[in-house]
Amino acid sequence: MTYGVFIAGLGHHAPERIVPNSEIEARLGLEEGWIARRSGIRNRRFAAPEEALSDIALPAADRALKNSGIAAADIDLLLLATSTPDHLLPPSAPLLAHQLGLGGPGAVDITGACGGFLYALSFAQSHVRLHGKAAMVVAANILSRRINPDERASAVLFADAAGAIVLCPAKNGMAGLQGLELCSNGADYDHIRIPMGGTRLPYQANAAPAAMKMQINDGKRVFSHAVRMMTDSARTVLEGTGTAPGNISRFVPHQANRRMLDAVAHALNIPQHKIACSIEEFGNSSAATIPLTLSLSHAADPLRDGELLLFSAAGAGMTGGSALWRV
């Protein structure tokens, strides 16, 4: 038997420390307003030095679980989309499941960079449809530990945050994922990267600190390719499901750059008032931005049965895609 899938609970969390543009602009010697004009970001959150990834993921996941109204033991699968786990090994998802008191469900990390939430969401909803059991997707990152504070391209954009979603089986077989287009472009694999720490270039004690920090090469190319990937994948989903852009209730894109969001929405003919946006106050927390933004949007204007949500993302790899979800 297959089931529909409904969003039973949403949650989000961001660290307490607010980092305004003025702090970064002063350090980099940028004129006042430079960051906001180019990215739409005014503030972002940074985790405290003692906080690990699981410390910011837990409050978001706990909030989503409580909002769902289901018992912790009913969660059958937990997927954690992150690029900044507590450790390279073991994965952080089993620890998070234990901290939540879930009782030992399937739990694994998904390292899909900015597109990681979409991949995790598609895997989780397939699990719910097939098995008729609840699943949770958490996306969280502490990117403040991975940026080079002296490199403008990454220092102005990235932030720390978490978002979570609980999915449950629905008697309404129409609820859930309506269309999905996942994609990648390995030719641009290394335009956003952390060079050292993997098997290609193992950690070296005498290496320059920048080797362990994020690097963005050719930002203009990354921008244009991300816009194209998000636009093309979203258009494929809309056309494949016979959905007119005007029927989208909320467009919830990855919050990479406000100009990027606007460019994709314009290309898809989605009006500005339907774009769910959190980038101004929370910056770019990679995979976490979609569930974070969806949770914030739901808190301000609760989701209604039958709404059509369009998700879209692109990031390091290059990997990304789009998904259409019926509430």
Handedness of CA 62, 63, 66, 70 (dihedral sign): negative
Can you tell me the distance from the alpha carbon of 102 to that of 212, in angstroms, rounded to the nearest whole number?
A: 34
Can you tell me the distance from the alpha carbon of 17 to that of 5, in angstroms, rounded to the nearest whole number?
A: 36
Can you tell me the distance from the alpha carbon of 106 to that of 227, in angstroms, rounded to the nearest whole number?
A: 34
**Set 12, 257, 284, 298: catalytic member:** 284
Q: Give the distance from CA 222 to its chain's centroid.
A: 17
Written as six digits, the tokens of 256 are 């990479």
**Set 254, 257, 277, 298: catalytic member:** 254
Cβ partners under 8 Å of residue 325, min gap 6: 7, 176, 177, 178, 308, 309, 310, 311
Residue among 312, 311, 294, 289 nearest 82 (CA): 289
**Set 13, 21, 67, 114: catalytic member:** 114
Cβ partners under 8 Å of residue 208, min gap 6: none
**Mapping DSSP to helix (H, G, I), strand (E, B) and coil, where does residue 139 land?**
strand
12 catalytically annotated: no
254 catalytically annotated: yes
284 catalytically annotated: yes
Point out the residues that are catalytic.
114, 254, 284
